[in-house]
A and B are shown apart, each in its own frame.
Chain A
């Protein structure tokens, strides 16, 4: 998948805005939204929020997690933990990109928030690279990756699945050419050297 497709999926997330206009409920296929009362918060899909913001018809209310303190805590937790921590939502990067991109003025401490989010992303990416390395070394064809978001998973495609596919192919070939040896995958991987006859 391309990043813009994942962004498209993330754009369906619901966020809050304060419209500067008044209007009855609107009935979209993806749901009902409104009624819109100038100055009163209302929930809409992210794509609609951005569109209204660009037309200067609303202010975006930053999600709870887009706050310096909250983000600092998340960052510390991410640094501390061996595993991937659960992010505020499945599409935090998409939300960040779009909201900070089109509605930065509505986000207090926007530059700082941008930096912390980038830091969190970098820490997680680095962990992901290490995990990928470990996964390949154990020769396993299976891994668990809770709490990774789609955008993060996408960043290791096609590299990780392709590498695992190739590893499998090599293992199968080894098995075919040396049927008498009892090669199990852990032995194959731990030796680190080729065990062909």
Chain B
């Protein structure tokens, strides 16, 4: 049946809304081939319809299939475009190789252009005052001063915090410290987070 293959493309893009699949070059090629076939058949019959009215419906059906194929292919590309955009915001301007593989060369080119356009825009911010400290791909969540409660497991000694405060980490002492500054010590087993 006409315009059936194209539905498989749509399903593909819809199946995993959060991830991108391999660009389906083969299917696209097949669908375009189908379109050429339909178009050719219509060209032939369109000339004949002036004499043979009964072909009119057939021509209409084929035309609808052509339009449907076009619409769905564009939808497939467009949806992949949207997913590729989020890759830029997630991974930055350089894609990890296993992700890059999933894109067609054309799509990667589009990604580069998108990335460039975004960079150009970000550079324009604060240009008038010579300020270049704004990266829109960062600062996406409000800052939180996150502190956690920890128990010191061994005698460690002094810990100097970023803001200059000094904490004495003795065995069994409890402390309330900035999350970011505890991570290493927690990993090393010196501190244990108290839930």
A contacts with B, residue count (CB < 8 A)? 10
Instruction: Please tell me if the beta carbons of B145 and A50 are within 8 angstroms of each other in the complex.
Output: yes
Give chain B's interface secondary structure class.
loop
The reply on A176 being an interface residue by CB < 8 A is: no
A60 vs chain B, min Cβ distance (A):
14
The reply on B147 being an interface residue by CB < 8 A is: yes
Q: Which residues of B contact A102 (CB under 8 A)?
A: 147
When each residue 168-188 of chain B gets 1 if its CB lies under 8 Å from chain A and 0 otherwise, what string results?
000000001010000000000
When each residue 135-172 of chain B gets 1 if its CB lies under 8 Å from chain A and 0 otherwise, what string results?
00000011001010000000000000001010000000
Instruction: Please tell me if the beta carbons of B165 and A55 are within 8 angstroms of each other in the complex.
Output: yes
* A51-104 interface with B by 8 A CB criterion: 51, 54-56, 102
B contacts with A, residue count (CB < 8 A)? 8
B65 vs chain A, min Cβ distance (A):
27
Give chain A's interface secondary structure class.
helix
Instruction: Please tell me if the beta carbons of B163 and A55 are within 8 angstroms of each other in the complex.
Output: yes
Q: Which residues of A contact B163 (CB under 8 A)?
A: 55
B144 vs chain A, min Cβ distance (A):
8
Instruction: Please tell me if the beta carbons of B142 and A5 are within 8 angstroms of each other in the complex.
Output: yes
Instruction: Please tell me if the beta carbons of A4 and B142 are within 8 angstroms of each other in the complex.
Output: yes
Closest to B178 in A: A54
Q: Which residues of B contact A8 (CB under 8 A)?
A: 142
Residues of A within 8 A of B (CB): 4-5, 7-8, 50-51, 54-56, 102
Residues of B within 8 A of A (CB): 141-142, 145, 147, 163, 165, 176, 178
